[in-house]
Structure 1
Amino acid sequence: MGVWSRFFSSSRGVKTYRMFIGGEWVRSSNKATFDVINPANRKLVGRVQKATREDADKAIKSAWNARKTISSMPLIERARMLERLADLIEKYQKDFVDILVQEAGKPVCYAEGEVKAGIERLRFSMEEAKAIRGEYIPGDLVPDTVGKFAIVNRKPYGVVLAISPFNYPFFISITKISPAILAGNSVVLKAASDDPICMLMFARLAELAGIPEGVLNVITGSGSEIGDFMVSHPKVGMISFTGSSAAGKHIASVAGMKKLHLELGGKCPGIVFEDADMDLAVRECVKGALKFSGQRCDSLSRILVQEKIANTFVKKVLAEVKNWKVGDPRKKSTRIGPLINEKAADKVEELVRDAVSKGARLLTGGKRRGLYFEPTVLDRVKANMRIAWEETFGPVVTIIRFRTFDEAIKISNQSGYGLDASVFTRDIDKAVKAANLLECGSVTINAAPAHGLGNFPFGGDKDSGIGREGLVYSVEEMTKLHTIVFKT
């Protein structure tokens, strides 16, 4: 416990965690805190600080004052610093897994995967560093620049405000922090309110890894109380936000002249054509819909199945869903844990009830126990049902039947979201044609979407966001081009 004791106090068995601002562990300026609750058993995990605007301002100014410290640090030293941090997280890996299981209700199999992915993402820092390059542009290709040449390099934005979601509070935070620091920015992280403790632990290890004071600041609190103040702060140069489309649009409306990277909601279709490998499609579609109880922006929350094979597909889905065990997230065998909070569970329940009331067939599941929602299969979902268009964020396999190729593409593209899609077919020409017609950031052929470490660029179109992230791509997003012209 020694390494962790620096950033919390304990009273009557309850831990109260402090925020990390300017290299110091601090309480909120008004001493207010809020509870972090285990969604599986509704027990108190701990208390964290409820930051005020004064606290947020202090964090941003701390990052602002440290921006030159990190930008002037040699790139190789930034990369080595992040590698040291990866080593420390690996050393305390079990502690991170345990806290994710507690505060997020995340089944241990997924919590282990998230922590491992975070470690690996940090260890790719040296490879990402090699991609930060400039270019030389000769002037004699254009008449008015003859006798000149230019050097174009990349510069950091200064202060990056990172705002993370509850569903991958550890890994997604790292995918923001690591490239931001590698690019020479300082960072203020607003941790997810439902499960922020893992990132306070991260900050403690970052402190031990030697990240300079003010380069990383982690605050906790209510987005509704401090969010607008932070995103509109004149010393913030870039905002990297992952969350709902409504929140992302609001950020865009109040941020002002800042670089925005917004990874927002999705209503991802999985299109299963009649010539698909049926067993493969069933496994991938069920996994795409149910993994982490469907609480993912890239969840396959609409399964479009061609009419000729739909009955057989549905029977196989019902058999596959039985393999998804609901239970205690601490057990290795559990694949479906609780939803994150009451509001989330209410939303899933409303969507299922609405669909059934309008004629959808409830084939299995549909029941709720506390924050647990049974794996559910809805067939013959129609366009007049909310679940056909709204983000579900719950363990529901939603089946929509279609007849023709064009109808499948039309249904998919009618959504206001444009994050991900999957196409299942044995016909490569059909797969490529569908992929090019689908209006979304990425399309996966014969598998559910899975972005992992970010080897392939990831991001949304339409209401699903602005920008792309991934290895190298995130670093590019977090730097700006700077041109120096020479007259010869």
Structure 2
Amino acid sequence: MRSGKRMISEILKLDKLEHFNDIIEMNNGIPHFKILVGGRWVMANAYIDVRSPINNEIIARVSKMDVQMADESLDKAVSAKRAMKDLPGFSRIEILEKAATLLDERKESVINALILNVGKTRKDAIGEVDSTLDRIKNVKSDARTILGDFVPGEWSKHNKGRIAIVVREPVGVVLAISPFNYPLFISYTKVIPALVAGNAVLLKPPSAVPLAPLLMAKILDDAGLPKGALSTIIAPGIIASYLSTSNFVDMITFTGSTETGLELTKISGVKKIHLELGGKASAIVLPPIGNLKKVAKDIVDGSLKLSGQRCDAINRVLVHKDLAPKLTSEITEIVKNMKIGNPFEEGVSSGPLIDRKAVERVSALVKDAVQKGAKICTGGKSRENYYEPTVLCNVPLESKIMWEETFGPVIPIYTFQNEEEAVEITNRSEYGLDNSVFTDDINIAWRVAKKIESGEVTVNGFPSHGIGFFPFGGVKQSGLGREGIGYSVEEFTNTKTIVYNLEE
């Protein structure tokens, strides 16, 4: 493991560091970060220790927002929402395109922050930054969906002599709350379309992993975003709850646990809300299958990327009895050869979980499954924040891991007898975010996909949403609304109807 000082040195080697000097101060060898409060960068008296899951050591300290700063951020956002609405659409796009250029120039900084702060492999960190870049570069596609309608009244005798113009307008102030697993990408797939639509945003990234979101906020500030249009709420959840109840917040967009999402719906009052919550994706494997090796690889990739800490990760494998022995063997062989460890080391494919509490939760789920009859085919051990990539065979349905979101590097495999059983098990879940179907028969794939209660079904592949060309969101306890290019913008706008009474 790298020492704490060597870990901090990685942050100090950020490419183009001079661009971030005015938001970072060194104190006793540890970088202290300012936060963006209503258009100004503030070093608070209190701070939050930021630890790396790689070795649990402090790598930075970030200013901690209090209620007074939250109120200032909100006040400035209320003013900025008018400025953002009045700012021509092409000017908003120009700001974001400049931000994309700056992010590309400074991307090594953000990549290092993701590796250090989240424990991502370098490949995954690069992927997150590149996806964020691509998302920004597609803002013109978002803009094309902010269109209106002309409705003539002549088709109704009560509206003769009247016409209506239907326009889409920004909702106003958006509170965006993002999770730890993709702190840059998910944060800014909320922020970017909200800004394109003409809103002001209060961004609440996870307090444990705030570094990459802060660096991106600095980039947007440098790109010329109007003051107050973006603030970074680095604070405990109670501050987010406080802001959620405010009548001056017009919309909440949240990605995270179903439990927290349900709480937000209770306290937020009458305002727009978008929720992307938990998932329990099944990979249903049905004959005929000509290439089980590819299916096994797809399942492993879909299950274990980012150590399984993804809402759209494959959480359970449901395989037909005729395919189960061979597929289980193929999956186990791949997982056995995975290298777990420090993501800075060459060849590491599985890094740490976000903290020790996450490891303990995964361990408890595996232990419960084993006690109820499952067999550990490989893995099953942990140390510090690391949990071995694990395959559980012959997992009984009563195991908790078959129903609870795992958020860890475990592949539970269940053998079913027929198609109807697989569909019933999948739909019995309280979640409905993603699922996968593997088969060489397109008719079977279509039939099963139609039966599954899910926001998305991927055929012959694992769920992967990229930059959001396809709409993404869940049903049941997995959320409300949709994200994606064009779809997010609709969430961040309201429809206004302007009716003209014309003289005959």
- Mapped partners of 1:149, 1:338: distance in 2: 60
Deviations 1:36-72 (A, max 9, x none): 1010111211011222222222211111111111111
Deviation at 1:143, TM superposition (A): 3.0
SS in 2 for 1:301: strand
2:169 corresponds to which residue? 155
Deviation at 1:144, TM superposition (A): 2.2
Deviation at 1:280, TM superposition (A): 2.1
RMSD: 1.0
Deviations 1:248-303 (A, max 9, x none): 00001100011001000100111000213422211111111101100000000011
Q: Aligned pair in 2 of structure 1 residues 339, 439: CA closer, same or farther (>3 Å)?
A: same
1:73 corresponds to which residue? 87
1:337 corresponds to which residue? 351
Q: Is the aligned partner of 1:272 residue 2:285?
A: yes
1:14 corresponds to which residue? 30
CA contact (8 A) 1:280 1:446 kept: no
Deviations 1:152-174 (A, max 9, x none): 01011100100010000000111
TM alignment of 1:127-146, pairs within 5 A = 127-146=141-160
SS in 1 for 2:174: strand
- Mapped partners of 1:199, 1:431: distance in 2: 39
- Mapped partners of 1:91, 1:280: distance in 2: 37
Structure-1-length-normalised TM-score: 0.98
CA contact (8 A) 2:36 2:231 kept: yes
Deviation at 1:228, TM superposition (A): 1.4
Deviation at 1:26, TM superposition (A): 1.2
1:263 corresponds to which residue? 276
- Mapped partners of 1:317, 1:383: distance in 2: 20
Letter in 1 for 2:322: K
Instruction: Provide structure 2 residue ranges, at least 5 long, that are not aligned to the other structure.
Output: 1-16
1:216 corresponds to which residue? 230
SS in 2 for 1:47: strand
SS in 1 for 2:358: helix
Q: Is the aligned partner of 1:306 residue 2:320?
A: yes
Q: Is the aligned partner of 1:227 residue 2:240?
A: yes
Which shows bigger deviation, 394-403 or 411-420?
Answer: 394-403
Letter in 2 for 1:27: M
Q: Is the aligned partner of 1:366 residue 2:366?
A: no
- Mapped partners of 2:223, 2:18: distance in 1: 16
TM alignment of 1:156-235, pairs within 5 A = 156-223=170-237, 225-235=238-248
SS in 1 for 2:31: strand
Letter in 2 for 1:244: S
TM alignment of 1:411-426, pairs within 5 A = 411-426=425-440
- Mapped partners of 2:152, 2:420: distance in 1: 48
SS in 2 for 1:127: helix
- Mapped partners of 1:7, 1:175: distance in 2: 23
Question: Please, which of 251, 254, 263 is the counterpart of residue 238 of structure 1?
Answer: 251
Deviation at 1:197, TM superposition (A): 1.0
Letter in 1 for 2:202: V
2:40 corresponds to which residue? 24
- Mapped partners of 1:329, 1:11: distance in 2: 27
2:10 corresponds to which residue? none
Deviation at 1:332, TM superposition (A): 4.8
Which shows bigger deviation, 365-374 or 379-388?
Answer: 379-388
Structure-2-length-normalised TM-score: 0.95
Q: Is the aligned partner of 1:292 residue 2:279?
A: no
- Mapped partners of 2:216, 2:90: distance in 1: 21
- Mapped partners of 1:153, 1:348: distance in 2: 48
1:63 corresponds to which residue? 77
Question: Please, which of 313, 319, 324 is the counterpart of residue 333 of structure 2?
Answer: 319
CA contact (8 A) 2:50 2:60 kept: yes
